[in-house]
Chains A and B, each alone.
Chain A
Amino acid sequence: MLERKLFTLMAAPQSSSEIAYNGSMKILVIEDDREAADYMQKAFTEAGHTAHVAGDGETGFALADAGDYDVMVVDRMMPRRDGLSVIAGLRSRGNTTPVLILSALGEVDDRVTGLRAGGDDYLTKPYAFSELLARVEVLNRRASAREAETVYRVGDLELDRLSHSVKRAAREITLQPREFRLLEYLMRHAGQVVTRTMLLENVWDYHFDPQTNVIDVHVSRLRGKIEKGFDKPILHTVRGAGYMLKS
């Protein structure tokens, strides 16, 4: 118990005047597995973010309630107070910080209950850190401001969400409906890594791992359409993680 307290204290914010630099986020990790939490903290820091760790639900709730976090990563099963109750508690207090739920329970039902409790995304253990990082970055409040925009622009690529038209360097590009949704998602999160499972979830609304990497084929098709005939690549493959749209 004492150890847990110390661990929480050590992880508490050093000063409240930390100013997030461009793309940097303040992340709260509520996870009782100390090794996993430490690893996350280290990896988030390496990725340029600030991460605070709480070792149990109660402490996590107190920290989240007091601090101003961009994203929270919450383990579902924890001592003292479970993750879903923490999220529900925060939501009832008007806290809208995006939450990613981490859970060993990965069935359809579990995902549904998790999202119903107020979670914004759900990741099943074991997971690749690159997947977690990509999802957390996409969840960032400031990034989701793009939801409201009707026209997305990345370099010379332009996507009009109302007229469903795509142009690159003023040249019209014809896309299939699904390709359009794929590009729309990639553009909304331009500059961020988007994983294959994120694409499958958000563009196709499926949460399983296909046997063959069908997503790769779709992306390479899309890439053919938006890059062929243009000198600069715009849709990049991020090795071991996914894709990124960047000029």
Chain B
Amino acid sequence: MALSLPATMRTTAARLSALYFLLFALCAVLLVFYMTSLSARMLTGQTQQTINDEVLGLARAYQRGGLPVLVRVVEQRSRQPGANLYLIADANGQILTGNVQSLEPGVLETDGWTTEPFSYRRFGEGELERQRNQAADPNGAQPGETEIQSEGEKGHNAIALVLRLPNQMIMLVGRDLGEPERFRAVIRRALMLALGMMGLGGLLIWFLVGRTALKRIDSVSEASRRIMGGDLTGRLPVTGAGDEFDRLSENLNTMLARIATLNEGLKQVSDNIAHDLKTPLTRLRNRAEATLSGKHKTTDYRQALEGTIAESDQLIKTFNAILMISRLEAGYSSESTSKVDLAAAVRDVVELYEPVAEEAGVELETSVEGDFTVNGNRELIGQALSNIVDNAIKYSTDATEKPAVRVALQRVGHDIRLSVADNGHGIPDDADRARATERFVRLEKSRSQPGSGLGLSLAKAIMTFHNGKLELLPANPGLSVIMSFPAREDH
């Protein structure tokens, strides 16, 4: 823990916890100050109100009977337990009556409210208290002046209203501040405690978040570092909790899978270019070289050039097919899709190939059950289907019985199935059948047939683009190529 602390301090949780803690602390401190000052102000206001009432009562007494009555009332009130501070002094500040023994110097010189709390000593009640203390605790401190002195020195704070009576006499009515002071201290203590607990909570949260949640982020970044290191098969951990981290990992994993697919496609394209385009290019170059060396007739040159053109045309076709497959695999813009009538597409392609089939002695049958529309691209679907029909016609010619190609369009469950079946030898081997849609794969017995080896791969890419599937199944005899389209929602 101690060793990992610097690293832990760098984590987001540590930073966030620290920030939250600081913010909370600041708020708490502000709150403490606000609360204490507010409550103090409130209590002071109350005190002043009490004093005002008191003074009002005394003023009435003075009006009723002049100074003697006032003195009597003051003396009376002074003796009540928990009484306010009363003091009447002459013009020289000599105390005449009241329950105040001594005052902070200068208080009597003020007129009206004392601005600051002042300290004072009172008698009477202090005496009483001392006696009560002594009664409760007989072995207590020695009675005497020292006791009062010390208690007085400990200090009472009060605020007071100082009034000048008409005959130069001074009257002070005040109230002890002991109570508000205590109240303020209680609040302050409570808030300090709360602040401490908040701090503790912050530390705890930091510890929990840092230890659990961030551990997972760390594991994700660790895994991504491995993947960045070149291991594209690596995946981010998914705990199965289904929380944000899992969702993040799942999405990143999907992205990685997509990247891996694209990467694989790119690799395949470069492999294809290296192998299947280099070979004919070499052939092209060799032919040109051979024609240049040695003596030839003009017709030979013409023939060689025509051969060159034919070969380069084939190369262009192959190149276009590769480009198209990778574009389709990388995701085509959906702008080029619209409603496509599959039945019409089948009719068009079959009609296009009818004469070819007839010439090859192949019977081309169609069965379209109903009306089918899918979201897609008519050109692409036509191209895929014509590639498949083209293949089927070629490979049905070696059939033992009358060669036939059957194109069927029907709905199977949620799919719209377009199948093209021939009755030739088919592809008996399962592995071969699986491989047949890969790029440039030309199974041994098809080597004699013309073609680039891209027809089925292109058809497969087109089907993937349409969110469909291309499957090769044995048709006994022959091969059945099935294009499955997802049915349109509104159909």
Contact = CB atoms under 8 A, between A and B. Distances in A.
Nearest to A106: B320
A217 interface: yes
A214 interface: yes
Interface in B333-384: 333, 335-336, 348, 351-353, 355-356, 359, 377, 379-380, 382-383
A240 interface: yes
A218 B351 CA distance: 10
16 contacts: A107-B324, A107-B327, A108-B380, A109-B335, A112-B336, A128-B309, A208-B383, A209-B317, A211-B390, A211-B391, A211-B450, A212-B394, A214-B352, A214-B356, A217-B356, A240-B306
Contact of B383 (A206, A217, A218): A206
Interface in A93-138: 106-109, 112, 124, 126, 128
A214 B355 contact: yes
Nearest to B390: A211
B309 A204 contact: no
Q: Is the interface of A mostly helix, strand, loop or mixed?
A: loop
Nearest to B319: A126
A212 B356 contact: yes
- Residue in A109, A178, A208, A211 with the greatest tally of chain B CB atoms within 10 Å: A211
Nearest to A112: B336
Interface of B: 306, 309, 313, 316-317, 320, 324, 327, 332-333, 335-336, 348, 351-353, 355-356, 359, 377, 379-380, 382-383, 386-387, 390-391, 393-394, 450-452, 455
Nearest to B333: A109
A214 B389 CA distance: 12
A108 B351 contact: no
B352 A210 contact: yes
A137 to B, nearest CB: 20
Contacts of B327: 107
Interface size, A (range): 20 to 34
Interface of A: 106-109, 112, 124, 126, 128, 178, 204, 206-212, 214, 217-218, 221, 240
Given A126-B316, A128-B309, A240-B306, A212 B355 contact: no
Contact of B313 (A106, A107, A128, A212): A128
A210 B390 contact: yes
A49 B306 CA distance: 25
A24 B48 CA distance: 115
A214 B353 contact: yes
A129 B386 CA distance: 27
Nearest to A211: B390
